[in-house]
Amino acid sequence: MLDQMEKIGREAINQAGDLVRRHIGAVPALDIRSKGPSDYVTEVDRKSEHLIVEKIRKHFPDHQIMAEESADIELDDQTTWIIDPLDGTTNFIHGFPFVAVSIAACIKKQIVLGLVLDPIRRELFSARRGNGAYLNDRLIRMEQSCDLDSALIATGFPFRAKHLLDSYLSTFRDVFQKVGGIRRAGSAALDLAYVAAGRVDGFWEAALKPWDVAAGSLLILEAGGQVDDFWGSGRYLLNGHIVAGKPPVHAFLMDQVKRHPAPALSS
């Protein structure tokens, strides 16, 4: 079953990636709609999601689908696909080439398959539980040590939950003073994939959604990294507050977010 799921997931994500690549930076204003402050959706988001959902439904009609622009379901014991058809929509609108398509699958609430595609660089990050993480089918494995002074950290601003800004900025200040650099590129799914590939050493962000983190978190775990929520309860998929990285960087970031507590968004 999982072999077939990965095959269909790869076909779907590559087709969606072709669509995104053809239209980045060329979206008519009439095709852009605001979902909330600093949160946009385009016709390409919707078309990408439709393409992925229809392909999955054709082959797995009994599976649940949780997708950013359509499905409103709770994660339960059923086999569930978690889809972000275009992560980094603001980047996409502006032609900023840091966007992703993300597909994950869960069985009994456990993520078993993760795919993150950078359609611009044509890089596909993939993982299956217990089978390692890959970049374009080449095994990737995270180094277990890191000099914190030279560490490169990725993050994201809590634009969906601006009441968290004070605690976020306090954390940012403390992290900034102790690491080599911080990057904010605008696609959490791709940031997490970059952690798995060793391009950045750690990542933290609050107020994310399951489709932002599901695939990327499995990539990191399978590459030898660590992932948790701000409280160490492992519920990042549900509460949206995530810390990830190489073991020493993950431990450092966990200490920082605990010093400036943020309220959980959900239980």
Residues 6+ apart with CB under 8 A from 261: 167, 230
For residue 209, what pLDDT is reported? 94
- Nearest 10 degrees: CA dihedral of 123, 117, 230, 223? -50
pLDDT of 263 over the 70 cut:
no
Confidence of residue 264 (pLDDT cuts 50, 70, 90): low
pTM more than 0.85 = yes
Quick: pLDDT tens for 220-229.
999 999 999 9
Quick: pLDDT tens for 13-72.
999 999 999 999 988 876 777 766 656 788 999 999 999 999 999 999 999 999 987 766
For residue 22, what pLDDT is reported? 95
What is the rounded CA–CA span in Å between residue 93 and residue 107?
Answer: 34
Q: What are phi and psi of 182, to 5 degrees?
A: -130, 140
Confidence of residue 217 (pLDDT cuts 50, 70, 90): very high
Domain spans of the chain? 2-140, 148-259
Tell me the fold of 2-140.
Fructose-1,6-Bisphosphatase; Chain A, domain 1 (3.30.540)
For residue 116, what pLDDT is reported? 99
For residue 198, what pLDDT is reported? 97
Three-state SS sequence of 144-191:
CCCCHHHCEEEECCCCCCHHHHHHHHHHHHHHHCCCCEEECCCCHHHH
For residue 35, what pLDDT is reported? 66
Strand partners, 243: 204, 228
For residue 136, what pLDDT is reported? 98
Tell me the fold of 148-259.
D-Maltodextrin-Binding Protein; domain 2 (3.40.190)
Strand partners, 244: 203, 227
For residue 266, what pLDDT is reported? 41
On whether the CB atoms of residues 79 and 60 are closer than 8 A, the answer is: yes
Quick: pLDDT tens for 94-122.
999 999 999 999 999 999 999 999 999 99
